[in-house]
Structure 1
Amino acid sequence: MEPYEFRRRQGDSYRRWVSDVMRAVTLTVDATVDRQHFNLLSTSTQLTTFHR
């Protein structure tokens, strides 16, 4: 097998793997941020209600 061809194919699969990982990380981060944002919202609401 040609080394260049092998390296190019490896690069393609590596790029595909990286995009898969990035998608998974983005989904996880989105879910975590949403949950944290919701927790922050409820906490700040409780704080403001408590201060009143």
Structure 2
Amino acid sequence: MSTGTLKNNLMEQDKGSIISRLSKIFMLKEKTGLQNIKKMNIMSLLKV
């Protein structure tokens, strides 16, 4: 195996882990975002 292909493999693995990490973070943000929206809706309903 040449160093070029080894580097490429490491890059691909890095990309994969970065993407999975980002998607996990995004999923968490989405969940908290939805909860915040629900809270805001409840608050606006209470104001009315």
Per the normalisation by structure 2, the TM-score is 0.85
Unmatched 5+ stretches in structure 2 = none
TM-align CA RMSD: 1.1
- Identity value in percent: 6
Q: Distance in 1 between matches of 2:7 and 2:41?
A: 49
What stretches of structure 1 of length at least 5 have no aligned partner? Answer: none
Equivalent residues, number: 48
* Deviant stretches of 4+, over 4 Å: none
Structure index of larger Rg:
1
